[in-house]
Amino acid sequence: MATLRNPVPTVDAIIELEDGGIVLIRRKNPPPGWALPGGFIDYGESAEHAAVREALEETSLEVQLVELFHVYSDPGRDPRQHTIATVFIARASGTPRGADDAAEAAIFYEHTLPTPLAFDHAKILADYFTYKRIGQKPHYS
């Protein structure tokens, strides 16, 4: 019997704070860099629950999901394996603190984003800031 190889479902959260900043985490594990809080969806867990759980685990913030932003599925988006990320926009208040597999959590703005950004998160954030400016979500190509 052939072994099936399917993409792995993940979630990311673009966490908006009241002052207009967003929360990013510095990863403890490879691949290195700054990233949106997120991770793998557990078996039996909804994408929405996974996004809230991962945000809390990595930033110590309780978030409220505001909307589904976009799905990113380029096979090369994660160097470890083929993943499909469901990206949510969320809101929170408070001071983020890195926890779990986040070495650090910090607040950034469009023109103060850190480098390097892991995965395809530079593209996701560029799409997000365009959406915030002109109200247009990314198109599928």
In 3D space, the residue among 76, 96, 130 whose CA is nearest the CA of residue 13 turns out to be: 96
| 45: annotated active-site residue | no
Task: Write the Ramachandran bin of 119: left for phi over 0, alpha for psi from -120 to 50, otherwise beta.
Answer: left
Active-site residue (options: 45, 48, 57, 104): 104
Active site residues: 104
